[in-house]
Amino acid sequence: MDPISKEKTLERLTKAQSVSIIISDNSGFDGLASGLGLYLSLTKIGKNISVYAKHPTVSDASKLYAVDKIGRSGEGKNLVINIDNAVNTVDKVTYFLNHDKLKIVIHPLTGTNGASTEQISFEHAPSKSDLRFVIGFKTAEELNKEFVHEQTFSSDSWTVSISLEEMNQKFAHASVGNPQATSLSELTANLLRDLALPLDEDTAYNLYTGIAHSTNNFDVAKSTPATLEIASWLIKFGAGRASFAQKSQPAYETPLSSPVGSFPATSDSFKQVDEVSIDQVEFEKSQKEWLKPPKIYKGSKSFDTEH
């Protein structure tokens, strides 16, 4: 993110009352870890956050914090009236005030019986977002195809895009991207660091897990020096101390801690060493020494020739 975009994003974030995080369905586990890590950070500064994403599998959900905050409708104060099969039954909708009571009239389409009470449902939607983060999208069309919720965004909403690939068109006011980055979680971690946003153990863990997943647990062929550096930064902020990390300790050690040139030892080999004490080895060695004949030194010129 360039300095001007960074300054404007910080300004918008400071003033924003509500923020939306929209995660591409195609971004997978990494996108989810990235978005939920961002969610956890922004809640620390008192923002009202809505997360829109595809619900994860049970396995993936057990590896990340804040999965229970995902919801396409979200929680909010706007009451939305849904009418099923409206195209074939509704002509128009009008409203009027009767004293202090608001009445909404659903006019039937000519030749139909109109909407029935069984076709009507209600939901609460979040208020219009002042700021939105879109994760893993390349075009505005791709975003609109996956996410259609006009009442959620105002025309002047500030949009920040987080994407590994270069966008085919500019649809965001600010973008966070790096073709050399290994994951969306890596980009998001760098964004939090650049904007000096709060980072706790759960946030660090989510982002670290996303990076580890995308690099096959820091495979040398899939990692870069920048990847290891940001991973170490997340460990510094407690990724390894999170409760989820304690359940899967081997996967969340620092990627630089493995000794070079070490050889794996099997459990059997250690077991054999433990079963034989040093005293027993010394005793067996002394027994063998007593069974050997005396050692007599004979030089090249023998002065003790036997007659």
Pairing of strands 90-98, 101-108: antiparallel
Mean pLDDT value across residues 219-232:
96
- Higher-pLDDT residue of 151 and 193 is 193
DSSP characters over 211-260:
HHHHTTTT-TTT--HHHHHHHHHHHHTTGGGSHHHHHTGGGGS-TT-SPT
Question: Mean of the pLDDT values across residues 85-111?
Answer: 93
Instruction: Give the pLDDT confidence of 113-155 residue by residue, as tens digits.
Output: 999 999 999 877 666 789 999 999 988 888 888 876 555 566 6
**Residue 174 β-bridge partners:** 160
Place of tokens 């923002």: 47
Mean pLDDT of 242-252: 69
E strands in the chain: 18-23, 48-52, 78-83, 90-98, 101-108, 120-125, 129-135, 153-162, 174-176
More confident residue, 195 or 155: 195
Q: 3-state class of 105 per DSSP?
A: strand
For 279-297, the pLDDT digits (tens) are: 554 555 555 554 555 554 4
The pLDDT score that the predictor gives to residue 290 is 47
| Class for the domain spanning 3-74+127-252 | alpha beta
**What percentage of the chain has pLDDT greater than the value 90?**
59
Res. 302: pLDDT tops 50:
no
Mean pLDDT of the chain: 82
Show the tokens assigned to 178.
């790096």
Asked if 145 and 32 count as a contact pair (C-beta separation under 8 A), the reply is no
Contact 107, 90 (CB under 8 A): yes
Q: What is the model's pLDDT at position 259?
A: 44
Residue 28 one-letter amino acid:
G
Query: Per-residue pLDDT tens for 227-245?
Result: 999 999 999 999 999 999 8
pLDDT of amino acid 272: 43
- Per-residue pLDDT at 277: 52
pLDDT of residue 166: 72
**pLDDT value at position 120?**
94
Please state the domain extents for the chain: 3-74+127-252, 82-123
pTM for this model (two decimals): 0.68
Choice between 41 and 263, residue whose per-residue pLDDT is larger: 41
- The confidence score (pLDDT) of residue 156 equals 75
Residue 168: predicted pLDDT? 58
Average pLDDT over residues 83-92: 94
